[in-house]
């Protein structure tokens, strides 16, 4: 074909591509036009994903209950936080109810004492029983569980078996109270060297051993990227054990778009798998909350 014969088609292709890009840009603009820190802006009202703001990280200079007000101001439907001890739970429950904000999850059992050591299992069951009552006050349906750092004298296989045994013992409480225990694997490459549980694959093996619909895995995609990669593949393979999701980009654990993870693709995978639960924003804001909120909104467009 001569160049003269080819040019019209090429021009048509360019024009069509430009139009398609324009449509895509309009979609992004529509999703994020409210993401500026302006009165009435609601960047938390995203088209596909229900995000849960981490109250420990966002608006850290404000008292906790004022952070809840900020969450409502931005239009986010949910929050999460770390330990429940030393928090005014009745006041937090009242603030969330007032603003119609869901408490997506909080930490029921942290890094210490180690869940991977069987001598701590009695205390674990007792703590989960207590945490479930707090969850009821907050109308929360999930408790984050941490496996703990390495216990000297135990192999990785023994520690994982002990985590499974502890979760089996607490599963009776979780099933009775209708509160799901979500086990969080970490990463040892950057944040948690010396931990006992890395990557979703190990977490999924443990919760499958437990065999309870109230014991699942927390897919923290920041940790998973560093520990194992192939986020979409691992989401598909472990979806039957998925209980909750958190996002942040790598490196730096900041908002989407600051690192190497293309979150529009990952969030789309999660949506197409059928997940409709909250997705935690356990991430540090690279500049400020308005900038981070705009970036999160863009990540929910595909």
Q: Which pair of tokens denotes residue 112?
A: 């210490």
pLDDT at 40: 52
CA distance 42 to 51: 13
Where are the strands (E) in 61-110, listed by range?
78-83, 102-109
Whole-angstrom Cα distance, residue 183 to residue 144? 6
Question: The tokens of 297 are what?
Answer: 């909104």
Cα distance between residue 173 and residue 254, in whole Å: 35
Taking CA atoms, 273 is separated from 185, 217, 268, in Å, by 21, 16, 9
| Residue pLDDT, tens place only, 39-49 | 457 999 999 99
> Residue 6: how many CB atoms within 10 A of its CB?
10
Distance CA(53)–CA(276), nearest Å, equals 16
Mean pLDDT for all residues in the chain: 91
Q: pLDDT tens, 270-294?
A: 999 999 999 999 999 999 999 999 9
Question: Which segment of 10-19, 180-189, 232-241 scores lowest on mean pLDDT?
Answer: 10-19
DSSP type of residue 149: B
Nearest to 53 by CA among 41, 38, 69: 69
Q: What confidence score (pLDDT) does residue 258 get?
A: 98
Mean pLDDT to the nearest integer, 6-15:
44
Q: Which residues contact 269 (CB under 8 A, 6 or more apart)?
A: 231, 232, 235, 236
261 - beta bridge partners?
none
- Residue 264 pLDDT > 70, yes or no? yes
Whole-number pLDDT of residue 187: 97
Query: Residue 211: what pLDDT?
Result: 98
Q: Is the pLDDT of residue 24 over 70?
A: no
Quickly state the pLDDT bin for 121 (edges 50, 70, 90). Answer: very high
Residue with tokens 């069951």: 125
Per-residue pLDDT at 131: 98
Residue that wins the pLDDT comparison between 37 and 194: 194
Question: Is residue 179 within 8 Å of 142, Cβ to Cβ?
Answer: yes
% residues pLDDT > 90 (the chain): 86
Does 1 have pLDDT greater than 60?
no
């Amino acid at each position: 074909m001569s160049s003269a014969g080819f040019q019209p088609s090429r021009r048509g292709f360019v024009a069509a591509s430009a139009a398609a890009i324009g449509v895509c840009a309009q979609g992004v603009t529509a999703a994020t036009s409210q993401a500026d820190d302006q009165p009435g802006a609601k960047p938390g009202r995203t088209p596909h994903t229900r995000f849960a703001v981490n109250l420990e990280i966002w608006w850290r200079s404000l008292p906790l209950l004022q952070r809840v007000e900020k969450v409502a101001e931005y239009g986010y439907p949910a929050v999460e936080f770390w330990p429940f001890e030393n928090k005014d739970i009745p006041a937090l429950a009242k603030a969330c109810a007032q603003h119609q904000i869901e408490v997506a999850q909080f930490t029921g059992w942290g890094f210490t004492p180690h869940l991977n050591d069987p001598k701590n299992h009695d205390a674990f069951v007792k703590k989960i029983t207590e945490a479930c009552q707090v969850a009821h006050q907050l109308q929360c349906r999930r408790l984050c569980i941490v496996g703990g750092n390495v216990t000297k004298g135990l192999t990785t296989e023994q520690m994982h078996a002990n985590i499974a045994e502890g979760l089996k013992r607490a599963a009776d409480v979780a099933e009775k109270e209708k509160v799901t225990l979500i086990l969080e694997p970490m990463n040892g490459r950057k944040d948690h060297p010396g931990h006992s549980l890395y990557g979703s694959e190990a977490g999924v093996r443990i919760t499958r051993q437990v065999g309870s619909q109230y014991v699942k895995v927390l897919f923290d995609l920041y940790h998973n990227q560093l520990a194992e990669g192939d986020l979409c593949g691992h989401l598909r393979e472990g979806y039957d054990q998925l209980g909750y999701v958190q996002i942040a980009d790598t490196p730096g654990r900041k908002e989407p778009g600051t690192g190497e993870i293309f979150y529009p693709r990952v969030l789309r995978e999660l949506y197409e798998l059928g997940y409709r639960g909250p997705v935690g924003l356990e991430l540090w804001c690279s500049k400020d909350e308005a900038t981070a909120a705009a970036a999160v909104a863009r990540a929910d467009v595909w």
